[in-house]
Structure 1
Amino acid sequence: MHTSELDLNLLIPLEALLEERHVSRAAARVQLTQSAMSRALARLRRALGDELLVRTANTYELTPRARVVKRELEYLMPRIHALGRPPFDAATATDLVRLSCSDYITLLYGEPLFTAIFQQAPSLSLTIEALSPATVADVEHGRVDLAFVPFRPASNLSWLRLFDEDFVCLLAADHPVDRVTLADLASYPQAGAVFLAEEAMILERRLAELGVQPPSVLRVPYFSAVAAALPGTRFIATLPRRLAVRYAEDPRLRLVEAPAELNSFSYGLVWHPRLDQDPLHRWLRTQVTLLTG
């Protein structure tokens, strides 16, 4: 990208357009009117000699040149943004940080993490969003700063493994099964939390590989709802161990080891590479790793 041919005032609109792939969303992100962003896009197209965004049936797609420019901006823009910032000081930071995670993470680490963050950065603002099928795209487009996910994304996002986890089974205390086998998982209805396509695949794909197809399935968006569905039923819930042991404190529930054929998996942090060296983001990642490492 030849920045000498480009008005540097257009770099921020350019970054927003290439990440959002949508004129209205990009305009809202940088607090411009839609018409002003449309004019900026027209100027960028002339300066770079490329359409950058091409309209398709339902959205805009990046041209090959735009993808190259986007990769360059991912390393250039953090340095430009940092030029206007004072040195990071948690005690005086007033930023807004957006995290995405499941109730599994908030139950296990929410209290100590929130305490650590706000003791050191009392003026920081923190927004927690539920994991969803859009989470990875939200991280890619800058709508989420940091996400806790049970898989490593296939995209070029930065990833840090936090811990390994395995599955156990949670069921009603009066459930007739004493030791869960693959045959039991094929015979009894299943209850599970599904909020990411990739998360569902971790367990369901493995069961399919083993030829296990439950007779019926209850899918809910939160693990707490899974636990609430078990007492008095014949459901079997296959859950992460760290979470299941918390719910097993309920006398109406019982914890049973899952079949050995079910693989363990890794939980980790994912973020955009442009935040690799961002002082606030590095500080935040350190708070997480101190608790989970």
Structure 2
Amino acid sequence: MPRIESVDLNLLAPLHALLEERHVSRAAARLHTTQPSMSRALQRLRATLGDELLVRGPGGYQLTPRAERIQAELLHALPRLEHVFSGETFDPATAARTFRLAGTDYTVSVLSGALLGRVFEQSPGSTVLFSRWHHAVFADAEHGMVDLLIHGGTPPPPLRSHVLFEEGYSCLISSHHPLAQCSAMSLEDYLDCAHIVIDVMDGRQGHVDRRLESLGRPRRASVTLPYHAAAASAVPGTSLVATLPTKFAIQHAAPGITTVIPAPEEIGPMSYAMSWHPRLDDDVAHRWLRDTIISTLNTS
């Protein structure tokens, strides 16, 4: 069997035309070439394949058994080859793509409902897999294990990113907490409290702890939990403070049980982004997903 690098792929089109037309002149006309040129192509094909391919019979040329088998194989192979060399397309309505995303429980909660509704409305055959956030998640994206990350802050190179939205922070505390009646929490009062730290990565809560450490005023973690929702559930009946994205804190506040107070202004807001590896820049399905996320957030 000849190796692909030893085969002249320019013979593929003449082969297909000859087997379809079963006539040298008609095959030449089909490819807009001359009859002598097509005859030479047939001779080369016979030498390469070790078969006559076309033989004279009653009423004209007939295919040899080998040529019939080749014709059947080309019926399936040629459309695939044409797809390889054509511009890539993505039709959401007929696609069956699996999209692998990763994010914290907060970012997943922001996106999942509205995004999934839009994805499955437009691409019912596709699948969305959300995986948990962990310390090596950026490496997962770099190594092709995750398609898209939804997160706060800036990703490390070589990942690309697009800022999606900005969110401030608030403190969720028990309604019986000494600071429950305050309109805002000062940094001094904040640092005097017992804190729930959400372990986003490496035991720290990303933006919140980076900001405090940059001020030389780190907080003490009384409790460390892996999820934002778990932190909100741990607050009632305690003196603990959970520092949460404001919308999330409001959604998880229980009237008469927990209270939401703006976090110290020194903490500031956080920018949330989606990030991906550059190899997916021009992937049409991935680009569709990115555009869908942006449009979902813009209309929600």
TM-score (norm 1): 0.68
Does structure 1 residue 139 correspond to structure 2 residue 144? no
**What displacement does 1:261 show?**
1.2
The Cα offsets for residues 34-89 of structure 1, whole Å up to 9 and x where unpaired, read as xxxxxxxxxxxxxxxxxxxxxxxxxxxxxxxxxxxxxxxxxxxxxxx964896211
- Does the 8 Å CA contact 2:107/2:151 hold for their aligned counterparts? no
Matched with 1:205 is 210
Does 2:97 match 1:95? yes
Query: 1:97–1:181: structure 2 CA closer, same or farther, 3 Å change rule?
Result: same
* Aligned mates of 2:86, 2:256 — CA distance in 1: 56
Q: Quote the residue 2:28 is aligned against.
A: none
Contact (CA 8 Å) 2:200, 2:206: kept in 1 or not? no
Query: Shift of the alpha carbon at 1:290?
Result: 0.7
> Following TM superposition, by how much is the alpha carbon of 1:228 offset from its aligned partner in structure 2, in angstroms?
0.7
Q: Per the alignment, in what secondary structure is the counterpart of residue 236 of structure 1?
A: strand
Deviations 1:8-31 (A, max 9, x none): xxxxxxxxxxxxxxxxxxxxxxxx
Q: Higher Cα Rg: structure 1 or 2?
A: 2
Match of 1:260 in 2: 265
TM-score (norm 2): 0.66
Letter of the structure 1 residue corresponding to residue 158 of structure 2: N
CA distance in 1, matches of 2:281, 2:220: 46
Residue 221 of structure 1 and its aligned partner are, at CA, apart by 1.1
Q: Give distance in 2, aligned partners of 1:202 and 1:154.
A: 15
> Could you say what secondary structure the match of 1:203 adopts?
helix
Instruction: Answer yes or no: is the 8 Å Cα contact 1:139–1:146 preserved in 2.
Output: yes
**Secondary structure in 2 matching 1:159:** strand
SS of the residue 1:118 aligns to = helix
Secondary structure of 2:209's match? helix
| Residue 189 of structure 2, aligned match among 184, 198, 223 | 184
Pairs within 5 Å for 1:75-86: 83=85
Aligned partner of residue 158 in structure 2, secondary structure? coil
- Specify every segment of 5 or more residues in structure 2 that has no aligned partner in the other structure, as ranges: 6-82
State the identity %. Answer: 33
Distance 1:250 1:85 in 2: 56
- One-letter amino acid matched to 2:291: T
1:228 partnered with 2:233: yes
Kept in 2, the 8 Å contact 1:88–1:280? The answer is yes
CA deviation after TM superposition for structure 1 residue 196, in Å:
2.2
CA contact (8 A) 2:135 2:202 kept: yes
Q: Is the 8 A contact 2:88 2:284 kept in 1?
A: no
1:150-169: CA deviations, max 9, x gaps? 01112111100001111111
| Deviation at residue 263 of structure 1 after TM alignment | 2.1
